[in-house]
């Protein structure tokens, strides 16, 4: 059992507050992704869990045991680094076996475990090579194998795929997800790539300016963003926002169109995903500016009352720049945000 509990963790570097009061529980064997733009504190949080950084305040527990005073090696974790950190002076075999050697395991056990994990990562033919003789993707596999060979309770990954090219990244994504699911470890995975986060995670913690804005399943984060930041960060293209003025109890005027919404006394922001817009007889009036055919869909960037607005429509539609469109939002997909707190309003 390796549930991870992070309680009131904050980190300050001099006068810079990198993390504010983080609270997060990661279930045993859960695949948790920390997602955010660079500088949001996700790597700092990971390094605090690893023990490479100490929290200014707060507690970290792994498997019910306080670990914040323990050295990284005593926390039952293994880590995959962004630049792999595959030791250049050791062969692939010795790299994978590094942690096992440090544990002073007998030779034949080291050999057995190294060979098993190498096979799992499909690098058994590379065991005698040095890292200088490996490609980026192979080094990545060595780094993952080195972590798996430790049979850790928790595996921490810091942007492990960010240095790979797009095709390889897609391949490794699926493979890594499969391997980790089989290994029964709890995984924390840091990335700035939302596609990676969506496709791999059991749960995503979206981080922004040193805080966790939302921690939920990928589909929940996508469908019901807890804050404007999440709505604008997740999804490609992201959610559209338009100002909404009160027009009676539960009624809102958005770009001249009256819609049903939550009851609130002050102006809100209306938000909708581009793919949740449909051409209709009645709806928002939009002027198409740029039309991008994407094969399956048409991505249309248009203007709605002076605001930029994107819609993803069926590729059968014929739309030219300058065309006037009438687009209706799918009612159950409409979301509302409070412009002051930036939080979602139900």
Partner 1 sequence: MNARLLPYVLILPVTLFLCLFFLYPFLLVSKQAFSTGAGFTLDNFREVTGYWKFPITMRNTLLLAAAVVPIQLALALLMATMVNKMKKGRDLVLYVWTIPLGISDLAAGIIWLAIFDQSGFLNSMMNGLGLVDKPVNLLTFQNPGIVFLAIMLAEIWRATAIMLVILVAGIGLIPKEYYEAAEVFGASPWKRFLRITLPLLRPSLQTALVLRVILAFEIFAVVAALGGTLFPVLMGETYAYQFDLLNSGAAAALALIILAISIAFTLIILRVLRVPKGATI
In angstroms, give the least distance from the CB of 95 to partner 1.
Answer: 9
Nearer to partner 1, 99 or 225 (CB): 99
Burial class (CB in 10 A: 0-12, 13-18, 19+), 144: buried
In angstroms, give the least distance from the CB of 241 to partner 1.
Answer: 40
Q: Which helix (H) or strand (E) holds 44?
A: helix 42-50
Nearer to partner 1, 105 or 170 (CB): 105
Nearer to partner 1, 7 or 87 (CB): 87
Nearer to partner 1, 45 or 230 (CB): 45
Radius of gyration of the chain (CA): 24
Q: Do 82 and 109 meet the contact criterion of CB atoms below 8 Å apart?
A: no
* Pairwise CA distance, residues 265 & 94, whole Å: 65
Burial class (CB in 10 A: 0-12, 13-18, 19+), 64: exposed
In angstroms, give the least distance from the CB of 49 to partner 1.
Answer: 11
In angstroms, give the least distance from the CB of 75 to partner 1.
Answer: 9
Give me the sheet containing 77-80, strands edge to edge: 77-80, 154-158, 186-191, 31-35, 203-208, 211-216
Nearer to partner 1, 77 or 286 (CB): 77
Q: Do 252 and 244 meet the contact criterion of CB atoms below 8 Å apart?
A: yes
In angstroms, give the least distance from the CB of 136 to partner 1.
Answer: 15
Name the site residues for partner 1 (rule: CB under 8 A).
Answer: 50-52, 71-73, 77-79, 81-83, 85, 87-90, 98-99, 102-103, 129-133, 146, 150
In angstroms, give the least distance from the CB of 77 to partner 1.
Answer: 7
Nearer to partner 1, 70 or 170 (CB): 70
CB crowding 247-271: b at 16 or more within 10 Å, else e? eeeeebbbbebebebeeeeeebbbb
């Amino acid at each position: 059992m390796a549930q991870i509990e992070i309680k009131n963790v904050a980190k300050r570097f001099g006068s810079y507050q990198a993390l504010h009061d983080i609270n997060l529980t990661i279930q045993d064997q859960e695949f948790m992704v920390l997602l955010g733009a660079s500088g949001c504190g996700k790597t700092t949080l990971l390094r605090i869990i690893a023990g490479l950084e100490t929290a200014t305040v707060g507690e970290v527990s792994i498997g019910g045991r306080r670990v914040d005073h323990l050295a990284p090696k005593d926390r039952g974790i293994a880590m995959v680094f962004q630049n792999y950190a595959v030791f250049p002076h050791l062969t692939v075999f010795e790299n994978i076996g590094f942690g096992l050697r440090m544990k002073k395991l007998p030779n034949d056990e080291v050999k057995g475990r190294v060979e098993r994990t190498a096979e799992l990562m499909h690098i058994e033919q590379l065991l005698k090579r040095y890292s200088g003789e490996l490609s980026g993707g192979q080094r990545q596999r060595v780094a993952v194998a080195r972590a798996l060979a430790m049979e850790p309770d928790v595996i921490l990954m810091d942007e492990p795929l960010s240095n790979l090219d797009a095709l390889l990244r897609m391949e490794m994504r699926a493979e890594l997800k499969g391997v980790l699911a089989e290994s029964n470890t709890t995984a924390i995975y840091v990335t700035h790539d939302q596609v990676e986060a969506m496709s791999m995670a059991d749960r995503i913690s979206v981080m922004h300016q040193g805080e966790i804005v939302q921690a939920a399943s990928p589909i929940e984060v996508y469908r019901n963003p807890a804050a404007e930041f999440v709505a604008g960060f997740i999804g490609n293209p992201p959610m559209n926002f338009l100002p909404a003025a009160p027009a009676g109890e539960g009624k809102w005027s958005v770009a001249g169109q009256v819609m049903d919404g939550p009851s609130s006394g002050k102006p809100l922001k209306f938000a909708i995903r581009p793919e949740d817009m449909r051409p209709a007889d009645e709806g928002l009036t939009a002027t198409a500016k740029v039309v991008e055919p994407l094969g399956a869909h048409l991505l249309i960037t248009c203007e709605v009352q002076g605001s930029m607005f994107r819609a993803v429509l069926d590729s059968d539609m014929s739309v030219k720049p300058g065309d006037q469109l009438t687009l209706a939002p799918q009612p159950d997909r409409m979301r509302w945000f409070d412009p002051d707190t930036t939080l979602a309003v139900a």
